[in-house]
Amino acid sequence: VILRVLGSAAGGGLPQWNCGCTNCCAARAGDPATPSRLEESVAFSADGEDWFLIQASPDVRRQIESFPALWPRRPRHTPVAAILLTNGDLDHVLGLLCLRESQPLVIYATHEVRRGFVDGNSVYRTLERFPGQISWRPFDLDGEQPLLTADGSDSGLAVRALAAPGKRPLHLEGDGDPAPGDNVGLLIRDRRTGGRLAYFSALAALTAPVRQQLAESDCLFVDGTFWTDDELIAAGLGERRGRQMAHLPVSGPDGSLDFLRTLSAPRKFLIHLNNTNPLLRADSPERAALAAARVEVAHEGLELRL
């Protein structure tokens, strides 16, 4: 599998339009240690021909243009075989509305994520201009399923969507009961090379099944939203702790780093970093602590083969 990071930031990106925090100001000033970042998304492919996108971020148009493999090869065409959604947060789904232009699209998602986007959403009709414009393929939460290209042929890849501790999107909080399908992590397996990718960009906690899957993967992407649980409060920018937003912090006694440092996977990345996170500054002591645990911060343009 070939993988390319298209965006590494949490919702809002870096800089965020209404934020004047230290990191956002540094990014605006062009500080080379604090480069700008787009909202979280990763593209992957078995053969370099058919590509799968994880998330449809609000930056999707720029992300497609940033990577020639995603450019059309005919007057009307897209190499995007399907889009995989891990939850219904707006930073993962808003981009779907930018991908209209009467282009048929395939979307893999849980029933909960599909309903959260489609139900009562009149704007969604722009993706229903003709029958079959969007083909929803449900994730099977009980096991691995083949990942099929747009025409239904075998991509050579398999995916397992694993329910992971998370939450419903902000606009649906308090509307309906939480369900396992609200948030998933993805385990992508290349059946030819055997390479295994684990992708958990929103994690409220490291449950035993999540730990096990991370331990068995060759490459992993994990929720790097916040360095500390009280990061927004300490910066005077919010009232909620990371955990209340279903993002476990990287540092601290119950943070993700203490577990990640024990894993032997050759590449371990954090992704979905909030603009307040000190890890966004390449010269920060927090980044040095991360490197000591052999964990990296994902960045736009990063390419890997597994």
- Positions touching ligand MLT (CB under 6 A) are 10-11, 89-91, 169-170, 202, 245
| Interatomic CA distance for residues 284 and 177, integer angstroms | 40
- 231 lies in the binding site for Mn ion (CB under 5 A): no
Asked if residue 68 has a cis previous peptide bond (ω within 30° of 0), the answer is: no
φ, ψ of residue 211 to 5 degrees: the values are -55, -45
Q: Give the residue carrying structure tokens 């414009």.
A: 133
For the bound state, the minimum distance from the C-beta of residue 38 to Zn ion, rounded and expressed in Å, comes to 15
For the bound state, the minimum distance from the C-beta of residue 112 to ligand MLT, rounded and expressed in Å, comes to 15
Give the residue, chosen from 50, 59, 91, 218, that forms a contact with Mn ion under the rule CB under 5 A.
Answer: 91
User: Please, which residues have CB within 8 angstroms of residue 288's CB and are 6 or more apart in sequence?
Assistant: none
Q: Give the residue carrying structure tokens 């897209």.
A: 78
Site for Zn ion in 105-134 (CB under 5 A): none
Q: In terms of CB distance, is 89 or 218 closer to Mn ion?
A: 89
CB of 87 closer than 8 Å to CB of 202: yes
Q: Which of ligand MLT, Mn ion, Zn ion, none has residue 271 at its interface (CB below 5 to 8 Å by kind)? A: none
- 89 lies in the binding site for Mn ion (CB under 5 A): yes
For the bound state, the minimum distance from the C-beta of residue 58 to Zn ion, rounded and expressed in Å, comes to 16
Site for Zn ion in 17-56 (CB under 5 A): 19, 21, 24
Which of 305, 306, 303, 272 is CA-nearest to residue 68? 303
| Interatomic CA distance for residues 139 and 105, integer angstroms | 16
Contacting residues toward Mn ion, per CB under 5 A? 10-11, 89, 91
Contacting residues toward Zn ion, per CB under 5 A? 19, 21, 24, 275
